């Protein structure tokens, strides 16, 4: 603050949780921290009310450390907001976290608390809030037993399918919230679900059964943050660490191995040594996990900001899931156009493509067929003729094994099969590619080809990006003219040709294909009369 700003602190007594909670709700998508002190600050004395408000854009590996002073600072009739380093201003013993939670979660916490039960939001929603992200799902844990939860929410719409494991889904404004009794789990015979659960009254015992420390935190407005396993410290340090013995956690549910990799990729964290070693040692247990579950985690991993680093550090885990890709690892291409082996080239290309499931799968699989197509000429130069088609076959096999939906599988295999096609700013060639792929797939292909080139390590990135921009600009200009590149966009139809005298049958189809080809090559205008004349000249004498 500048010295000429007049600051008046006033005694507010203790900071009321209800007041702070309400203020947090007024600031949508904010993580709020409240702090009170009776110590003098500077020349002012009395109780000072601090409230931190963290906006929630997606920070890259960022732990919020700023505190916003919520007290009104008046100078020349203006309000000022001042920010201070959280670690300097607020003593650790006095920190109280107030998360901004949705109305449904707030309702459930209050209802359970009013009925004498402990209740917390727990897991990923707490983790993401502390990271400055906006959680999508809010899970709640409570000391209330299933039958007690049923009684508490008797006037609410609920789903009871998880009661065996202590979970009741409460719907608030049609949004589902899973509410689960504090519990400890028995054995995991199927390596996914506990054989039995035992209900407990202590939230710490419940947190102890969870997978990773960053997911083993709970919060409510009364007690603040419950962090018995130092998840907050691991968030600050950017570490994924199993709760307790990592081999025990992974044996309970092998998917947790892939979840560890996924979290490390999404948040650009590292996996701690013991957890990492357990993931390597127990990687083969992933074969027991359902393909649908693998697909969900793998897609999130591939779309993470640290995906390439994780795939590079854990190829043995990846190849258990995708054995079709094992041959790529360390495969020397013996080609001056490629600085890296096939696997490393793929990993270097991956960060250069937008993080959508379709595009990340396409770049992962685009060169998977190279080892099968490799030949060496007399000069010792490697060639992989036909590798795009072979890669598409492997992609189809991989995606089918992962139970990927048909639309995604077909688009990925199309992109992989097409990734070696030449594309340039030439309008004629662009029309041809539009006819083959359609506009959306062509634009995705351009992104795939750019990433492929950037991953080779032999071409200037500036040159690659300039070429990409030139093609995109030419495509934009072409699309602005509403070009004809499909039969549907021709100015004549099959009925028009038959009305003009062409015989019904295969001749009409041949004529339409001919006309489209002529229009795309700019040898004919897409005009009704010109097309009908050309069709009669070319096909009028056929029967």
Query: pLDDT for 162-174, tens place per residue?
Result: 888 899 999 999 9
pLDDT of 419 above 60: yes
Q: How far apart are CA 274 and CA 281, in angstroms?
A: 11
Residue 409 inside a domain? The answer is yes
Helices and strands (DSSP H and E) totals, the chain: 24, 20
**pLDDT of res. 528:** 92
**pLDDT of res. 164:** 84
Q: How sure is the predictor about 98, in pLDDT bands with cuts at 50, 70 and 90?
A: low
Residue 286 inside a domain? The answer is no
pLDDT of 54 above 90: no
Are residues 49 and 72 both part of a single domain? yes
Most confident by average pLDDT, 76-80, 394-398, 491-495: 394-398
Query: Which run of H or of E encompasses 231?
Result: helix 231-237
pLDDT of 66 above 60: no
**pLDDT of res. 223:** 86
**What is the number of structural domains in the chain?**
4
Residue 251 inside a domain? The answer is no
Q: Is 75 helix (H, G, I), strand (E, B) or coil?
A: strand
Mean residue pLDDT of the chain comes to 83
Are residues 472 and 339 both part of a single domain? yes
Q: How sure is the predictor about 190, in pLDDT bands with cuts at 50, 70 and 90?
A: low
The more confident residue out of 40 and 190 is 190
Are residues 133 and 88 both part of a single domain? no
The more confident residue out of 75 and 223 is 223
Which long-range CB contacts under 8 A does 109-115 form with residues at least 24 apart? 109/140, 109/220, 109/221, 111/152, 111/153, 112/140, 112/142, 112/144, 112/149, 112/152, 112/179, 113/220, 113/222, 115/144, 115/148, 115/152
**pLDDT of res. 76:** 26
Are residues 111 and 179 both part of a single domain? yes
CB atoms within 10 A of CB 293: 17
**pLDDT of res. 97:** 56
Are residues 378 and 469 both part of a single domain? yes
Are residues 394 and 475 both part of a single domain? yes
Residue 265 inside a domain? The answer is no
**pLDDT of res. 176:** 94
**pLDDT of res. 33:** 37
Q: Among the three residues 216, 237, 258, which one is the final residue of a domain in this structure?
A: 237
Residue 154 inside a domain? The answer is yes
Are residues 215 and 361 both part of a single domain? no
pLDDT of 133 above 60: yes
Percent of the chain with pLDDT over 90: 69
Are residues 340 and 463 both part of a single domain? yes
* pTM, rounded to two decimals: 0.79
pLDDT of 18 above 60: no
Are residues 74 and 206 both part of a single domain? no
Are residues 230 and 132 both part of a single domain? yes
Query: pLDDT for 465-504, tens place per residue?
Result: 999 999 999 999 999 998 998 899 999 999 999 988 898 8
Q: Is 366 helix (H, G, I), strand (E, B) or coil?
A: coil
Query: pLDDT for 105-121, tens place per residue?
Result: 999 999 999 999 999 99
Domain limits for position 397: 322-479
């Amino acid at each position: 603050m500048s010295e000429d700003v007049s600051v008046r602190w006033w005694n507010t007594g203790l900071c009321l949780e209800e007041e702070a909670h309400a203020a947090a709700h007024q600031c949508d998508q904010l993580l709020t921290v409240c702090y009170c002190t009776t110590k003098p600050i500077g020349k002012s004395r009395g109780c000072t009310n601090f409230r931190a408000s963290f906006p929630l854009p997606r920070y890259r590996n960022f732990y919020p450390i700023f505190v916003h002073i919520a007290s009104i600072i008046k100078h020349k009739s203006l309000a000022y907001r001042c920010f201070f380093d959280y670690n300097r201003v607020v003593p650790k013993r006095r920190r109280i976290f107030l998360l901004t939670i949705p109305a449904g979660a707030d309702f459930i916490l209050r209802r359970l608390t009013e009925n004498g039960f402990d209740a917390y939001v727990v897991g990923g929603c707490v983790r993401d809030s502390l990271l400055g992200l906006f959680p999508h799902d809010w899970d709640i844990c409570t000391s209330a037993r299933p039958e007690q939860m049923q009684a508490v929410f008797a006037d609410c719409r609920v789903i009871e399918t998880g009661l065996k494991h202590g979970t009741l889904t409460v719907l608030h404004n049609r949004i589902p919230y899973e509410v689960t009794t504090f519990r400890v789990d028995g054995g995991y015979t199927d390596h996914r679900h506990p054989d039995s659960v035992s209900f407990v009254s202590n939230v710490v015992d419940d947190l102890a059964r969870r997978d990773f420390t960053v997911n083993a935190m709970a919060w409510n407005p009364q007690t603040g943050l419950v962090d018995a396993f130092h998840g907050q410290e691991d968030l600050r340090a950017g570490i994924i660490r199993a709760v307790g013995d990592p081999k025990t956690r992974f044996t309970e549910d092998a998917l947790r191995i892939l979840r560890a990799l996924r979290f490390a990729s999404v948040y650009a964290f590292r996996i701690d040594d013991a957890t990492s070693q357990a993931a390597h040692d127990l990687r083969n247990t992933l074969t027991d996990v359902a393909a649908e579950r693998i697909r969900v985690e793998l897609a999130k991993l591939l779309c993470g900001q640290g995906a390439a680093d994780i795939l590079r550090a854990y190829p043995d885990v990846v190849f258990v899931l995708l054995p079709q890709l094992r041959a790529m690892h360390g495969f020397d291409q013996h080609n001056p156009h490629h600085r890296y082996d096939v696997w490393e080239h793929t990993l270097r290309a991956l960060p250069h493509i937008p993080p959508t499931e379709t595009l990340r799968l396409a770049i992962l699989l685009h060169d998977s067929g190279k080892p099968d197509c490799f030949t060496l000429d007399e000069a010792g130069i490697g060639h992989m003729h036909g590798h795009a088609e072979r890669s598409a076959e492997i992609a189809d096999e991989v995606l089918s094994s992962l139970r990927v939906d048909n639309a995604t599988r077909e688009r990925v295999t199309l992109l992989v099969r097409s990734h070696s096609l030449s594309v340039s700013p030439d309008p004629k060639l662009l029309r041809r590619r539009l006819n083959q792929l359609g506009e959306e797939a062509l634009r995705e292909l351009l992104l795939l080809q750019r990433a492929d080139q950037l991953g080779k390590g032999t071409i200037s990135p500036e040159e690659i990006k300039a070429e990409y921009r030139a093609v995109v600009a030419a495509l934009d200009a072409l699309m602005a003219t509403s070009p004809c590149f499909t039969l549907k966009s021709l100015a004549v139809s099959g009925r028009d040709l038959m009305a003009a005298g062409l015989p019904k049958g295969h001749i009409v189809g041949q004529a339409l294909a001919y006309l489209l080809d002529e229009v795309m090559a700019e040898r004919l205008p897409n005009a009704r009369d010109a097309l009908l004349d050309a069709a009669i000249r070319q096909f009028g004498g056929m029967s």
